[in-house]
A = this chain, B = another copy of it.
Amino acid sequence: MPVITLEGPSIPDPAKRRKMVDALTSAAAGAYGLPKEKIIILIRENAPDQVAVGGVLLTDRT
């Protein structure tokens, strides 16, 4: 029962989400040798003021 978690910015286009989860699932199912139905994906969307790179919040980057 592999679980894939994505942390990233929002993906507002539902078509892109659908295509992404299908591709991620196929890639993982192939590597684990499991049917696609066994792969669970959780998508987390982080607001720009909740992420920092290099010590600077994304909302403060210019």
Contacts and interface: CB of A to CB of B under 8 A. Distances in A.
A9 B26 contact: no
Copies of this protein, total: 6
Interface in A11-62: 11, 14, 16-28, 30-32, 35-46, 49-57, 60
Interface residues of A, number: 49
Interface of A: 1-9, 11, 14, 16-28, 30-32, 35-46, 49-57, 60
Nearest to A14: B49
A11 B60 CA distance: 16
B5 A32 contact: no
7 contacts: A19-B31, A20-B31, A22-B55, A27-B27, A40-B40, A41-B51, A42-B46
